[in-house]
Amino acid sequence: MNEIYNVIEKNKDTYILSNGKQDEKLEELKSIPLSKRSDKSKAKFLFKNEVRSNQKIFEKYSSKFSKRSDNSTIEYIPIDSALVNYICPISNFYAISVYLSEKTAKIVCGMDYVLFCEKDKTYSEKSKFKRSTSINDNNNNNNNNNNSSIYYDINAIKKETKWSDVSVQQISYSPNHLSLISQSPFANPNKQLDTNFYYPSSAGKGIDIYFIDMGLINKHEDYDTYKGTSDERVITCDAIITGNSVHFTTDEEKNNCSSVDGIPYHGIMVTSVAGGSLYGVAKKANLHMIAADNTSINILKGFDIILQKAIPHKTVISLSLGNIGNYSTAEKFKLTDLINKGFIVVVSAGNDNINCCEDKSSSNFYTFTGYRKAIAVGATGTKFNGYGLNIAYYSNYGDCVDIYAPGTVTYPDLESGSFTGTGFSSGTSCSTPLVAGVVASIMSEYPEIQFDNDKMKKTLIEMSIKNAIDFKDSDITNDTPNRFINNGKQSIYYLDQNVQCGKNSKDGNICSDGCCTKEGKCISFENHPGDQCFIENGCQSEFGYCTTKEKSIEECEKELK
């Protein structure tokens, strides 16, 4: 780094701007103590490393470079430079950021120990739309009681999902992204579907979800930390990374941080959807924000913070970022480091209605889906059409998109100054944290399993609902996987489902759809009744469809043939 700094200093005349003046960043060269030393061979810079700046590392580097081979000492001068600075270690090399002119770029990139050079880039992926509303529906009840109006069956849900316990959130706001992920999209459009969100009661407890985004204001009622209870969790901003600066937050900054001017609405949205107590999937997960501007360099620094501080196999990283036409070797290898270490990374497919899976030689290369390592998420609409869901018209696609999730969400709106207001937003930026929340819920429900990125990707694919997305009115290629996110509960409940049937019912009701069980319940086949429709198990054939185990096997064999 000292040699590179010397190259910049010797060629400072190549940093002349079109107006004839020298680039202001080179003013740094005039102010540093080293430039005043007559014998620079006895003095070098010790460049500040804000991400990994701790006493042990400082002592390690100080002792390593404190003496020359001839035992004469070298003075190391600490410097916080805007021209040459650390990014992070990646695999078996180190990434640094250097401010280069065309001439110095040729010199530096040709040095023997420089593996490759690539330009910094700025990410463009943000929510497709944003609109504020006046919704204020905070109904977050867990209805595991004996209310006679309850039409769903908690025991049946437990049996279907294998969850240790089930929580139910009643929701009346729209758009309702949560109910969509806890039931099959193949619902009967002529019936009144319930809008509840069914989820495992563990709800991400003990799992950390990290975000690299605009920032966070955690004072909205959606960010309940359950203080003083057994479910107490952390919702915090850990660091702010802007320009060349990395700042680890303290005190009030942990509750209110931003890398942009104004309210960090995008960061608020992603944290809310992944783990908010009102609008989130994993309502008990710990939420960690790293507020960063959208440069590749600072995303890498954010990755390095997570790599140092987070717990492998207990951490999900949600990235609602993306950029067209920019392959980065550094990003690919750093992403590999995170995944190899045991972190699960979920990324957005992007909002450009293109194939986001092209290789690095293509002008359509898309970060991060193009690296084909993380779990890539596309977006759908939020209304069932009887055949499933339509793909969102803006969503990217391709064979690297692992799963689709609802692309329009409700989330806290703080722009009005209210800590109770809500708005809604659309984009793959929204579908991505939804999947991250499902990931956290799976990890907390099965703590004995050591999930890694590949194992979680397979789990999500197995749990997904296949062929539930309508691609027919889009330009999507046949190699795009047709998978819709599901949290483990596919059964469908309608608001009139508490009507009983059979000989013990008030009017001897007959089930028009499905079978009438021994207990006198109408169960539709889309709710996977299992052996409850077998005559051997008491199915009431005069009040609905029933079959036998033997006949069922015969019909199955015919279908297979």
Q: What is the CATH number of the domain that holds 472?
A: 3.40.50.200
pLDDT range class, residue 497, cuts 50, 70, 90: low
Residues 14 and 84 in one domain: yes
Query: Taking 60 as the threshold, does the pLDDT of residue 148 lie above it?
Result: no
pLDDT (average), residues 428-438:
97
Residue 415: predicted pLDDT: 65
Beta pairing, strands 375-380 & 344-348:
parallel
Report if residue 72 sits inside a domain: yes
Arithmetic mean of pLDDT over the chain? 87
Residues 529 and 456 in one domain: no
Residues 248 and 324 in one domain: yes
Worst-scoring range by mean pLDDT, 251-265, 347-361, 428-442, 470-484?
470-484
Q: Compute CA 302 distance to the chain's CA centroid, rounded to the nearest angstrom.
A: 14
pLDDT range class, residue 369, cuts 50, 70, 90: very high
pLDDT in tens, 380-401: 998 877 678 899 999 999 999 9
Query: Taking 70 as the threshold, does the pLDDT of residue 92 lie above it?
Result: yes
The answer to whether the CB of 371 falls within 8 A of the CB of 331 is yes
Report if residue 148 sits inside a domain: no
Residues 286 and 380 in one domain: yes
Report if residue 140 sits inside a domain: no
Report if residue 155 sits inside a domain: no
Query: Taking 90 as the threshold, does the pLDDT of residue 131 lie above it?
Result: no
Residues 435 and 536 in one domain: no
* Residues above pLDDT 70, as percent of the chain: 87
In terms of Cα–Cα distance, which of 164, 213, 172, 221 is closest to 195? 172
> In 3-state terms, what secondary structure has residue 426?
strand
Report if residue 221 sits inside a domain: yes
Residue 441: predicted pLDDT: 98
pLDDT in tens, 521-561: 888 877 778 888 999 988 998 888 999 988 888 888 888 88
Report if residue 164 sits inside a domain: no
> In 3-state terms, what secondary structure has residue 256?
strand
pTM: 0.85
Beta pairing, strands 344-348 & 315-319:
parallel
Query: Taking 50 as the threshold, does the pLDDT of residue 143 lie above it?
Result: no
Q: Which residues are catalytic?
A: 213, 266, 429
What are phi and psi for residue 274, nearest 5 degrees? -75, -40
Residues 252 and 364 in one domain: yes
How many Å apart are CA 358 and CA 360, to the nearest integer? 7
Q: What is the dihedral of CA 132, 138, 140, 143, to 10 degrees?
A: -130
Structure tokens at 359: 């290789």
Residues 212 and 274 in one domain: yes
Report if residue 17 sits inside a domain: yes
pLDDT in tens, 184-215: 998 877 778 889 999 999 999 999 999 999 99
Question: H helices of 446-530, where?
Answer: 453-463
Residues 301 and 414 in one domain: yes
The helix or strand, by DSSP H or E, that contains position 254, with its residue range, turns out to be: none
How many Å apart are CA 249 and CA 49, to the nearest integer? 16
Q: Look up the domain containing 52 and give its range.
A: 2-109
How many Å apart are CA 276 and CA 167, to the nearest integer? 15
Query: Taking 90 as the threshold, does the pLDDT of residue 117 lie above it?
Result: yes
Radius of gyration over alpha carbons of the chain, in Å? Answer: 28
Which of 484, 502, 532 delimits the end of a domain?
484
Query: Taking 60 as the threshold, does the pLDDT of residue 138 lie above it?
Result: no
In terms of Cα–Cα distance, which of 356, 354, 237 is closest to 287? 237
Q: How many CB atoms lie within 10 A of CB 54?
A: 10
Report if residue 508 sits inside a domain: no
Residue 40: predicted pLDDT: 59
pLDDT in tens, 310-343: 999 999 999 998 778 778 999 999 999 999 999 9
Check residue 65 and report its DSSP letter.
Answer: H
Residue 35: predicted pLDDT: 57
Residue 402: predicted pLDDT: 97
Residues 392 and 338 in one domain: yes
Residue 558: predicted pLDDT: 86
Query: Taking 90 as the threshold, does the pLDDT of residue 509 lie above it?
Result: no
pLDDT range class, residue 115, cuts 50, 70, 90: very high
> How many separate domains does the chain show?
3
Sign, CA dihedral 320-324-330-335, equals positive
Burial class, 510, CB count within 10 angstroms (exposed 0-12 / middle 13-18 / buried 19+): middle
Residues 479 and 364 in one domain: yes
Residues 297 and 411 in one domain: yes
Residues 473 and 392 in one domain: yes
* Residues above pLDDT 90, as percent of the chain: 59
Which of 109, 144, 167 delimits the end of a domain?
109
Per the document, the length of the chain is 561
How many Å apart are CA 54 and CA 246, to the nearest integer? 13
How many Å apart are CA 257 and CA 38, to the nearest integer? 44
Q: What is the DSSP string of 220-250?
A: STT----TTSTT---EEEEEEEETTEEEE--
Query: Taking 90 as the threshold, does the pLDDT of residue 510 lie above it?
Result: no
